[in-house]
Structure 1
Amino acid sequence: MAAAKKTPTSKKKPPRATVRTYRHGLGDCHLVTLYGARKARFQIMIDCGVILGTPDAGAVMTEVMDDILAATGGSIDLLVATHEHWDHVSGFAQAAESFAKLKVGAVWMGWTEDPKDADAIKLRRERDSALALLQAAAARMQVDGGGEPGLLSSVLDFFGAAARITTASALELVRAKVARPRYCDPKDAPVALADFRARIYTLGPPRDIRMLKKTLPSASAPETYGMALAAAERSVGQALSDPEQQPFSNSVRIPNRVAQSTPFFQQRYWNDDDWRRIDVAWMDDASELALALDSMTNNTSLVLAIDLADAGVLLFAADAQVGNWLSWDDCKWRVNGKQVTGPDLLARTVYYKVGHHGSHNATLRAEGLERMKALDVAVIPVDHAMALKKKWGDIPLDTLVTALDRATTQRGYVLRTDQEPSATATRRGARSTRLHVEVDI
């Protein structure tokens, strides 16, 4: 009698990588683990921050940092700080005691943070000058009785201006982890991790200053690079230089201190109908300057593509905006006798950390998402409830979420950190706890 045939057992391939994204609020923090032979692991921490105004933020970020200490045994191979915004770096300072316990093999930042780079020095001076003007403008608006300078305060929040610590001081804690941080440039050769069959490419920030200043798309004017910082600075600076600056000339102007003591104006101007007032109309350019500074800082994001060879590419775009994305077309490297380009990496992207919490100008269409033909998983670090409080109700953008769903529907899924994974995502391997979501690649 013939022996019964054994049914072959299907073995699931072990993952090449695991990406853990924290669900701590409106901010970014990721732990990437690459797997090699004999249980070897290469662990990368990317950013650690949450938006200003998050309740009990210090305790929140300490819990995140303590979880990273537990998951890594207190040691990581690479620490990445993508750009100087509060929601990406605050945790390094807010959880300073726990962060001090973390051993770090290497630190990477974008070339824009290099204290010795001439272009970076110039950019920092421009940014610091604009930030100082915005702080003065916000204070002046409150003194003039213009109410809470909403947009200005919102932008200043990104730099930690209202906190005991700043983004600059948080970055210094990161920089101090190693003797020599690496300041990444797209022209750099990819870093090979032979034991893990992986290479890490730097896609951005671009060296072309014009591309750094291109933050918004425009069909009619594709070469428009957004608000020029210099023009806005001149306008705001001129207004701040005159303590009695108003929208009209001296010949028809009544100083605030005189008008505020006049019964006619007390009754008809300084009252509950604040929307009718124009005495802070001169600050419109401050709002434009605030938006330009915010967007340009986003555009200095360090963008990394982790190439796992046959397993695809993990794309971490931080908060890169239009010019940063467009610059990837010019990225070229020679690897093992073959040319690798930015579009090549996009075409092989299987995991996308969605840029800037799913905002309107942080994921390109034709030259971005539509190029990701292999996309399986998209993760959006977001807190829509907090976005509403900040008056950013379109984060994440519905049309973008729909496009991501469409791009991943065949094989994968979309995860939002402010929502539980869908049944499809769970069935296809997504895992979640109260503190994080996790994906195997």
Structure 2
Amino acid sequence: MFRVGFGDFFLLTVPHKDGKKHILIDCGVHAKDLGTIRSAVEQMADDCGRHLSLVIMTHRHADHISGFASCSDIFSEITVDAVWMPWFENPTNKIASAFQASLTATANQLAMRLNARGNAEAEHLRMLENITGVPDPVQGFSSNQKALDVLHNGFKNKVKPQYYKSGDQPSLPAELTAAGLSAQIIGPPIDPVLIAQMTNKAQQYLSDLTVEDDASLKPFADAFRAIETQYPDEAFEFYSADQVRQQIHDAQPLALAARAAAADKTLNNQSLVIVFSMAGRNLLFAGDAQWGNWEHFLYGGAFGTPGHTEITGQAKAILSSIDFYKVGHHGSANATPKDAVKAMRLGCCGMCSTQIDAYNEVPREPLLAALSERMNGQIARSDQVAANASLGPNTAAGPLPAAFTAPTGVLFVDFEL
């Protein structure tokens, strides 16, 4: 697990009779960029001998793919055997293409309107940029698009991506299969209703955060649209119709900001969720999956509907046997449900790639405490090691648990199963 700031960058190494084989899972940073992404990519390239058996893009957020753009010259020297992406990235899937285009268009529209008003909060603008990427004034395209171009056609060799959804049987490169590795795709679902479900307050490790609005991405619901003639005269006793109209106009940035957050999280639910198994060990990589993605895995459908009120036998079997969990969405409150934590095997271990002060209450301390208790303290944060010679560990994160190693003490954390 590399320390780059607020972003995910994991390298999984698999023993093989002909030497180690490597799987790259995401490569990006967005908020609180520590300036180490290039050093981390160079380290990864050296460690894998410029050959990756598999590259996985869990979803298209900048904090998971920006490194492919900023370090495209390094990736152009790396041979890759296979690339996996969620089904939302399949250009031949008309539903997926329309969905992504709609989200990007919505984000661009919100960004323009928030910027035009000049009073958008930086956090909300960061979320919008995470969807579309930061515009490149020289190249003329967003960094996210450049990263996607690299993933499709920017490695040393030509490799055609494979697109997966929950339940698909993935095709592993032959050398990984020969090493005894297998993989199971448990997310994302294909149901758009589940993809749109961002949160379930009862399943979150929180106390005072508000529940996000899951309505469609528009400033106001139709129920609040009306013209002044539909109101009686006494409705304007204290404020004229023009004053009410102006107040609504002035309040729109806040409503738009809420929609920005909703659009941002919709992409999280597109995350590929994968269980790797080898030699009796099981590793769960959840990307940034949020409630709808977890809901599909845990209950087999919309929680509370007939037949979907309890954790399925499959979910129990997987969670009770995991040895490693990549903590979802940097440790945010709504990305690892309580039911999932309770079902995890006692004594498993976890890694959380995170950076304090990037977003409000991320990582969520009650969640990390619950995971630590379940894992007997075997949970590591990326900020528990130095980023570089001038930026040391985050003292608030506490010391790196003994189960993990930091061979150089800088840039990355290791764990061996």
2:191 to 195, 208, 211: 208
Matches within 5 A, 1:189-338: 189-191=169-171, 193-219=176-202, 226-232=213-219, 252=242, 280-310=250-280, 312-329=281-298
| Equivalent position of 1:380 in the other structure | 352
Q: What is the aligned length?
A: 363
Over residues 308-353 of structure 1, what are the superposed CA-to-partner deviations in whole Å (9 max), with x where a residue is unaligned?
252x211111110011011114679xxxxxx993432222111111
Matches within 5 A, 1:152-163: 152-163=124-135
Match for 2:29: what amino acid? V
Over residues 219-243 of structure 1, what are the superposed CA-to-partner deviations in whole Å (9 max), with x where a residue is unaligned?
49xxx994222444778xx9xxxxx
CA distance in 1, matches of 2:347, 2:38: 33
Matched, 1:418 2:383: yes
TM-score between both structures, scaled by the size of structure 2: 0.79
1:41: Cα distance to partner?
2.6
**SS of equivalent residue, structure 1 residue 394:** coil
Match for 2:167: what amino acid? K
| Equivalent position of 2:414 in the other structure | 438
Q: Among the aligned pairs, what percent are the same residue?
A: 26
Question: CA, structure 1 residues 150+62, in 2 after alignment: closer, same or farther (shift >3 Å)?
Answer: closer
| Equivalent position of 1:109 in the other structure | 85
CA distance in 2, matches of 1:345, 1:213: 25
Is the CA contact 1:64–1:435 (under 8 Å) kept in the aligned structure 2?
A: yes
Is the CA contact 1:22–1:64 (under 8 Å) kept in the aligned structure 2?
A: yes
CA distance in 2, matches of 1:423, 1:397: 18
CA distance in 2, matches of 1:321, 1:78: 24
Question: CA, structure 1 residues 430+80, in 2 after alignment: closer, same or farther (shift >3 Å)?
Answer: same
Q: Which range moves more in the overlay, 122-131 or 198-207?
A: 122-131
Gaps of 5+ in 1: 1-20, 239-247, 257-276, 333-338
Instruction: Decide which structure has the larger Cα Rg and report it.
Output: 1
Matches within 5 A, 1:3-14: none
2:149 to 158, 172, 182: 172
**SS of equivalent residue, structure 1 residue 229:** coil
CA distance in 1, matches of 2:287, 2:318: 16
Is the CA contact 1:213–1:225 (under 8 Å) kept in the aligned structure 2?
A: no
CA distance in 2, matches of 1:313, 1:80: 17
Q: Which has the higher strand share?
A: 1
Question: CA, structure 1 residues 278+123, in 2 after alignment: closer, same or farther (shift >3 Å)?
Answer: closer
**SS of equivalent residue, structure 1 residue 418:** helix
1:45 to 21, 24, 31: 24
Matches within 5 A, 1:49-88: 49-52=28-31, 54=33, 57=35, 60-88=36-64
CA distance in 2, matches of 1:61, 1:424: 21
CA distance in 2, matches of 1:163, 1:212: 27
Q: Which 4+ stretches in 1 moved above 6 angstroms?
A: 421-424
| Equivalent position of 1:363 in the other structure | 336
**SS of equivalent residue, structure 1 residue 437:** coil
Gaps of 5+ in 2: 137-141, 204-210, 226-235, 302-311, 386-396
**SS of equivalent residue, structure 1 residue 290:** helix
**SS of equivalent residue, structure 1 residue 370:** helix
Match for 2:331: what amino acid? G
CA distance in 2, matches of 1:40, 1:250: 76
**SS of equivalent residue, structure 1 residue 215:** coil
1:131: Cα distance to partner?
1.2
TM-score between both structures, scaled by the size of structure 1: 0.75
CA distance in 2, matches of 1:104, 1:340: 36
**SS of equivalent residue, structure 1 residue 116:** coil
CA distance in 1, matches of 2:298, 2:271: 17
Matches within 5 A, 1:138-149: 138-142=114-118, 147-149=119-121
CA distance in 2, matches of 1:429, 1:135: 41
| Equivalent position of 2:161 in the other structure | 181
Is the CA contact 2:56–2:85 (under 8 Å) kept in the aligned structure 1?
A: yes
CA distance in 2, matches of 1:228, 1:212: 12
Matched, 1:124 2:100: yes
CA distance in 1, matches of 2:347, 2:263: 32
